[in-house]
A and B are shown apart, each in its own frame.
Chain A
Amino acid sequence: MRLGLVIDLDVCVGCHACAIACKEWNASGTIGPLSDYQPYGAEPSGVWFNRIRHYEMDEYPNNKTINFPMSCMHCEDADCVTVCPTGASYKRAEDGIVLIDQEKCMGCNYCSWACPYGARELDRSSGTMKKCTLCVDRIYDQELPVEERQPSCVLTCPAHARMFGDFDDPDSAVSRTVRERGGYPLMPELNYNPTNQYLPPRRKPVIPVDTKPKGGLKESIKQFANKLVRR
């Protein structure tokens, strides 16, 4: 099994609900808490497994806002695991989930240097590195109904921009969607072989933008007068 996420950049509305749901579940999860520093202070900061950034692609009038959620990619060739000197960082053979053993981590930050996606964050309160667990404490939980055995971020997404599944199975929903929509990994040139895939924004017809019609002399005077008069 090779578990991971598919994120649809065409659909994501950038509401940050996935990040909030992630924080809510994992703050009390297996490697929680996720400490906050000055949550109500002047410089709020803290540990998050999932961060959403916002980009603009292309220029007016063809521009489009892309909301970009990012968490651990659970790479096939995860350098964060190989560089770890203590053996705290490991990749599970059975499902490919990359995890950090909180009992072994010495907080040297080296794994975060090896990660190109910024998926790992040091928790100052415990002195250990923390990262997305793909809700490992949820997806195998027999107590939960089958449809809820998914990562928090996927369950909560109001736009259904996130999918969870097994990429080793060519007929799984994630594999099929990636095939059909031309899903791609981030920064493939570094050869980390990330498991998570992103679906590109669809091409949309360009909305014609007409130039403003020219008014006559009468219109110009009216506009000039409007500028002078304070209402």
Chain B
Amino acid sequence: MHPAFSVIFFTVASGAGFGLFSLLFIADFFKLGGGFNQDQLVAGGLMAMALVVFGLLSSTFHLANPKNAWRAFSRFRTSWLSREGVFAVIFMPLALIYLASIMFDAPQWLRVSSGFLTAVLAWITVFSTGMIYACLKTIRQWNTPLVPANYLALGYASGSLLLLLGAVGAGLDVTPYVAMSALIVSIAAVLKAIYYFWIRSPGLSPTINTATGLTRAKVKLLDTGHTHGTFLTQEFGFQIARQKASLLKVIVFVVGFALPGLMLVWVFNQHGEQMAAIVAAVAGIAGAAVERWLFFAEARHVVNLYHGAQRC
């Protein structure tokens, strides 16, 4: 699949934003490390919302006819893309209610219930983002529950590293934040490792024989019938060399998981070293961006069978 920059930016930014917001609620509810004060909570919440909004705006850049984008909320019953849009839009007012109840010292029940609902909605939205890809039977590398699991784990890992940066900046006790980040980043790393092992041979998949129905002998492509590229070759023809993919997987693990892990140890030992927390957050998000690019680059759509691939 062709890796579209706007979609990569959208999924990484909104994933981090939703992750940050839900973890911010947990930090507030349990007063982790002493708890953020009002202004810090509101600033953090607005930052998370800004990530979500920029992500959603960027996702409209890949539309060829964005004037009809408002219609995308209309097929909630069948389309995961529609569901994601609806959940993301419901998230906004709920998140604002939560932040307002912090700012204006609203009764505790309102603060907790709106915060909890927002956190749940954030989870559901990221899950829907993953399901947009996981529900496609045409792409074997995506058609697995590991995809929404990866989207959630990476979104929350990025969010937890941003939250840690906030905790260091606010001078809180970093121990619970380091523990939370370490746990989520390790879960994300393990899930991604399982995914990479799984797509090396992703089970039964269509072949050029089932695609053409000529199952009694070997089939090979003689001619694609078009002079130059088509929409299909542009959108689905993208191919990445195996060696390059392996190198990028190493980068995902070193930059996205190992480096933030190392920085977490540093933050913990130095009781809040700001530079280390910044490096952890930047590396975590950069790793997630590389992971997302590779997620698209490695996906092989079955239409490639009609263009000569023997299996997908």
Contacts and interface: CB of A to CB of B under 8 A. Distances in A.
A177 to B, nearest CB: 16
A107 B225 contact: no
B104 interface: no
Contacts of A118: 232, 236, 303, 306
A107 B75 contact: no
Interface of B: 1, 62-69, 71-75, 78-82, 85, 132, 135-139, 204, 206, 210-214, 216-232, 235-236, 301-303, 306-307
B219 A43 contact: no
| Best-surrounded residue of A70, A108, A192 (most CB of chain B within 10 A) | A108
B137 A191 contact: yes
Interface of A: 16, 43-45, 47-48, 51-59, 62, 65-66, 68, 70, 79, 81-88, 103-110, 112-118, 121-122, 124, 126-128, 184-192, 198, 200-201
Contacts of B223: 53-54
Contacts of A115: 138, 303
Contact of B213 (A45, A121, A192, A200): A200
A201 B302 CA distance: 23
B82 to A, nearest CB: 4
A109 B216 CA distance: 35
B206 A189 contact: yes
Contacts of B63: 106-108, 127
A4 B80 CA distance: 29
A128 B71 CA distance: 14
Contact of A43 (B85, B228, B302, B306): B228
A106 B72 contact: yes
A190 B65 contact: no
Given A113-B235, A121-B230, 5 more contacts: A59-B218, A106-B72, A110-B79, A110-B132, A121-B231
Contacts of B136: 79, 83, 113-114
